[in-house]
A and B are shown apart, each in its own frame.
Chain A
Amino acid sequence: MKYVDEFRDRDKAKILVTEIDALVATMDIPDDRPLQIMEVCGGHTHSIFRYGVEGMLPKEIELVHGPGCPVCVLPMGRVDDCVSIAERPDVIFTTFGDAMRVPGSKKSLLQAKADGADVRMVYSPMDALAIARANPEREVVFFGLGFETTMPSTALTILQAEAEGTSNFSVFCNHITIVPTIKAILDSPDLQLDGFLGPGHVSMVIGAAPYEFIADHYKKPMVVAGFEPLDILQSIWMVLKQIKEGRAEVENQYARIVPYEGNEAALGAVARVYELREHFEWRGLGSIDHSGVRLRENYAGFDAERKFAVPNVRIADPSACQCGEVLKGVIKPWQCKVFGTACTPEQPLGALMVSSEGACAAYFQYGGQKRDRQMAAAP
């Protein structure tokens, strides 16, 4: 594939790995305290596992798989609310595919579908709007989910529904925002992270500017990274280089996609349609101030939360679950007490086992339960 294969080039990867090795050799990193670099975005986690990137890195570097999988961090209470809406006989509930399997306290959307709810998988909110047009006698609800990456497309769909007067369409809004989340991680007392790979797709919308506080206030390097394996290796090298030179800056490796100031049109739609919530509940991380958005009063007619009464009950994460510690890099997925035993992709207990982008599910699927670095490294 043109413009894709170039970023998966084995020979260029070898050069980058050699450069990383050379840089690490000059850095005097203690054996018992490897450098921890967090990739914030689930898309990065997926690429890292899919291409075996982690096994190519020297033992002095540890990748910490961050909270950027919107499916994983969705709390059980919100899934219960989805199920409650989906089970209304007048409703067609539309959702992205990988949200179907997220467990609620009683069931997932997949189970609700099996029990008779009209749950349909869509690839875009515009598909959901088309279903609404085709079914004027039904209420069509779209499960709005994701960071700033998917926020604009939901906003534009609402604006489109308003413009064309499709009133049987609404959004159950669970969109979340990245900056307060990174801040919450940086504020946690047990933090050990040395640098960040910034989320490429989110940054395509919001730009690189909003991350400046990470460098200014927390003195940590952040490199906005693309999703191909060469992007990731190069970004790791850029983070290392900053650490080596004692710099803490926001750099943009993904400049072919991410403009520093973001995408004006997308940000305009987002600002028009959403407002920040006081706080939003995250699986594994608890409540984070200003980390979620809801629809503004002007779009109340398209807000499923206002249109339908939902239980809105807060369900505590299972107590055995150590997702929070994994998310913050305090422990590795396989060090969790329930990894691969009480918590598996078939029966996920914790958030990170839910989607293939979740750190635990990724380890389980691509890394296996028995984990050692040599296993992952090509001989």
Chain B
Amino acid sequence: MNIATPIRERALAKVHVKTVTLAHGGGGKAMKDLIDDVFVRAFDNPALAPLEDQARFDLADLARRGDRLAFTTDSYVVDPLFFPGGDIGRLAVCGTVNDLAVGGAKPLFLSCAAIIEEGVAIDLLRRVSASMAQAASEAGVVIVTGDTKVVHKGACDKLFLTTSGVGVIREGLDLGSHTARPGDVVLVNGLLGDHGAAILCARGDMALESPIESDCAPLNGLIETLLATTPGVRCMRDATRGGVATVLNEIAAASQVSIEIDEAATPIREEVKAFSEILGLDPLYLANEGKIVIVAPADEAETALAALRSHPLGADAQVIGQVGAGEAGRVTMRTVFGGRRIVDMLVGEQLPRIC
């Protein structure tokens, strides 16, 4: 990438206090020190280094990679900030990278805005920004611009992050959730519900200990591998909040088709099954942060499956169902028991049942 603005050579400032105060949001030296020490130091890259009010991109360079830009944004307010398998920083990078990648875009640039509650430890911010840098490096993206705000105690919960992302879609690739057709197959790239279960366990208010880790990961590499061998892929969605059930409903509604999945073929970790069983939750609605739902033509099912399984983040990939010509928008599941039930959209949050 060509950067028009020359990189300003300068030493990065240091923060010498232990916690964030309102002074760090005041726009003065304290704020500059915080940004320098915590964020710029971790994200260091040529596009960020000039610290202008905006990052600048070479259009000709982008045009060589594709013919459309993809642009997305997402906010992250996860509690707790650190959980088995990830943290808010890793989540903020992977979530936005995945939102770009499922549209067929190659993710390139991210922004990062942080809303920080006064009193948060500087070291906590350092850990989060290091984790963001690590995730960005795994995904092959750079964080090119950002913002920090500090708010009064109680005005936010420790740390909220917002990342936006820009990617480029190559010519000829046009994925859309309205394009699923009867006869197509539905695939997922691995075990479902890990992130939702890991977060619920990590909150610690149900006194359940489990080895479940969040699946939080950047999926652009996996998706690139898939698209390289499976040109017919109709659409992909990352199954975050609301889980696989919600994504399937969205695809069925957008494409005006029915979808039927097979419970026996749906990959869910034993621990997640047991966890859901105890709490009366349905793992189909648990959040994922490294899982996508893919719709592909039936004659490319095997190719797609092989491509997914060839990648470490798709080792447990499965064909979980088919698109049908039944009632438009209807998602059903053949249960392990031999029955059949409707898999509807969730009304609100999944609440544990009383007994």
Contacts and interface: CB of A to CB of B under 8 A. Distances in A.
B339 A146 contact: no
B59 to A, nearest CB: 46
B228 to A, nearest CB: 37
A13 B337 CA distance: 7
Interface residues of A, number: 53
A341 B281 CA distance: 27
Interface string A368-379: 101000001110
Contact of B330 (A100, A355, A368): A368
Given A97-B351, A150-B355, A201-B355, A366 B273 contact: no
A365 B344 contact: yes
A13 B338 contact: yes
B325 to A, nearest CB: 14
A366 B355 CA distance: 19
B354 A146 contact: yes
Where chain B touches its partner, the secondary structure class is loop
A89 to B, nearest CB: 16
A198 interface: no
B355 A378 contact: no
Contacts of B274: 1
A357 B353 contact: yes
A376 B344 contact: no
Contacts of B207: 123, 127
B337 A51 contact: yes
A149 B355 CA distance: 7
A229 interface: yes
Contacts of B342: 365-368
A8 B205 contact: no
Given A346-B347, A366-B344, A43 B338 contact: no
B323 to A, nearest CB: 17
Contacts of B351: 97-98, 100-101, 121
B288 to A, nearest CB: 21
A230 B336 CA distance: 12
A56 B353 contact: no
B246 to A, nearest CB: 13
A376 B352 contact: no
B353 A52 contact: no
B315 to A, nearest CB: 22
A50 interface: yes
Contacts of A364: 344
A98 B337 contact: no
Contact of A378 (B277, B279, B339, B353): B339
A230 B274 CA distance: 18
B205 A127 contact: yes
Contacts of B336: 8, 10, 51
B62 to A, nearest CB: 43
Nearest to B273: A1
A51 B277 contact: no
Contacts of B340: 52, 55, 376-378
B52 interface: no
B345 to A, nearest CB: 9
Interface in A1-22: 1, 4, 8-10, 13-14
Nearest to A145: B354
Interface string B262-286: 0000000010011001011010000
Contacts of A357: 353
A122 B338 contact: no
A49 B341 contact: yes
B6 interface: no
Interface string A225-268: 00001100000000000000000000000000000000000000
B341 A376 contact: yes
Contact of B338 (A4, A14, A123, A366): A14
Interface in B180-229: 205-207
A53 interface: yes
Contacts of B347: 345-346
Interface in B316-345: 327, 330, 334-342, 344
B348 interface: yes
Contact of A52 (B206, B270, B327, B341): B341
Nearest to B208: A123
B341 A366 contact: yes
A177 interface: no
A127 B352 CA distance: 15
A286 B70 CA distance: 58
Nearest to A99: B354
Nearest to A346: B347
Given A98-B354, A100-B351, A122 B339 contact: no
Contact of B337 (A10, A96, A345, A370): A10
Contact of A51 (B280, B339, B352, B353): B339
A101 B277 contact: no
Contacts of B339: 51-56, 229, 376-378
Contacts of B270: 1
A71 B353 CA distance: 9
A201 B354 CA distance: 12
Interface in A275-310: none
A98 B352 contact: yes
A150 B348 contact: no
A7 to B, nearest CB: 9
Contacts of A220: none
A100 B347 CA distance: 14
A324 interface: no
B284 to A, nearest CB: 11
B352 to A, nearest CB: 4
11 contacts: A1-B270, A14-B338, A43-B355, A49-B341, A51-B336, A52-B340, A55-B340, A145-B354, A355-B354, A376-B340, A378-B340
Interface of B: 205-207, 270, 273-274, 277, 279-280, 282, 327, 330, 334-342, 344, 347-348, 351-355
Given A98-B354, A367-B341, 14 more contacts: A46-B280, A46-B353, A53-B337, A53-B339, A71-B354, A121-B352, A123-B205, A146-B355, A149-B355, A229-B335, A366-B341, A376-B339, A376-B340, A376-B341
Listed from nearest, the 5 A-B pairs whose CB atoms lie closest are A52-B339, A97-B351, A97-B352, A51-B337, A345-B347
